[in-house]
A and B are shown apart, each in its own frame.
Chain A
Amino acid sequence: MPNVILRAENIYKKYGNLEVLKGISFRVNQGETTVIIGPSGTGKSTLLTCINQLTPPDKGHIWLEDTEITHPDTDINLIRSSIGMVFQHFNLFTHLSVLDNVRIGLLVVKKIPMSEATKISMEKLNDVGLGDKVNAYPAELSGGQQQRVSIARALAMKPKLILFDEPTSALDPELIGEVLNVMTKLAESGMTMVVVSHEMGFARAVANDIIFMENGVIVEEGKPDKMFIQSENPRTKEFLHKITELYGGKKE
Chain B
Amino acid sequence: MNFLALAWNILPKLMEGAVITIQLTIIAIIIGIIIGIPTALGRVYGNKVVYTVCSFFVEIIRGTPLLTQLFILYFGLPSVGIMLSPFTAAMFGLGINSAAYQAEYFRGAIQSIKKEQLIAAYSIGMNQMQTIRHIVLPQMFRLVIPSWSNELIYLLKYSSMAYMIQAPEIMSQGRLIASRNFRTFEVFIIVALIYLVLVSILSKILDIMENKFRIPGL
Chain A interface residue count: which class? 20 to 34
Q: A54-B119, A87-B120, A91-B120 are in contact. Are A105 and B126 (CB under 8 A)?
A: yes
Given A77-B127, A95-B142, A109-B125, A136 contacting B119 (CB threshold 8 A): no
Question: Assuming A92-B120, A95-B138, is B217 touching A138 (CB within 8 A)?
Answer: yes
Query: A136 is contacted by which of B114, B123, B216 (Cβ under 8 Å)?
Result: B216
Residue interface mask B204-217, A partner, CB < 8 A = 1: 00000000000111
A82 to B124, CA, bound (A): 8
Q: Interface 1/0s, chain A 144-188, versus B by CB < 8 A? A: 000000100110010000000000000000000000000000000
Contact at A108–B130, with CB atoms within 8 Å?
yes
Kindly state whether residue B55 has any CB partner on chain A within 8 Å.
Answer: no
CB distance A91 to B124 under 8 Å?
A: no
* A91-B116, A95-B139, A108-B134 as given contacts; A139 in contact with B217, CB under 8 Å: yes
Known contacts A137-B216, A139-B215, A139-B216; is A93 also within 8 Å of B120 by CB?
Answer: yes
The answer, yes or no, to whether A140 is at the interface (CB within 8 Å) is yes
Please determine whether A94 and B126 come into contact, CB atoms closer than 8 angstroms. no
B182 contacts A by Cβ under 8 Å = no
**What are the residues of chain A within 8 A of B139 when measuring CB–CB?**
94-95
What are 29 A-B pairs with beta-carbon distances under 8 A? A52-B123, A54-B122, A79-B125, A80-B122, A84-B123, A85-B120, A87-B120, A91-B119, A91-B123, A92-B120, A93-B117, A93-B120, A94-B114, A94-B117, A95-B138, A95-B215, A104-B124, A104-B134, A105-B125, A108-B134, A109-B126, A137-B216, A137-B218, A138-B217, A139-B216, A139-B217, A139-B218, A140-B216, A150-B120
Other A-B contacts than A92-B117, A104-B124, 15 sampled, CB-CB below 8 A, are A54-B122, A80-B125, A84-B124, A91-B123, A93-B117, A93-B121, A93-B135, A94-B215, A95-B139, A104-B134, A105-B126, A109-B124, A109-B125, A137-B217, A141-B217
> Do B216 and A157 touch (CB < 8 A)?
no
Tell me whether A105 and B124 are in contact in the complex, defined as CB-CB below 8 angstroms, given that A91-B116, A91-B119, A95-B138 are known contacts.
yes
Main secondary structure on B side of the interface with A: helix
Query: With a CB–CB cut-off of 8 A, which chain B residues contact A52?
Result: 123
Number of A-B contacts (CB under 8 A): 81
Interface size, chain B (Cβ < 8 Å): 22
- CB-nearest residue of chain A to B135: A93
Whether a CB of chain B sits under 8 angstroms from the CB of A59 is: no
- Neighbouring A residues of B142 by C-beta, 8 Å: 95
- Enumerate A10-33 residues with CB–CB distance to B below 8 Å: none
- Contact: A81 with B125, CB < 8 Å? yes
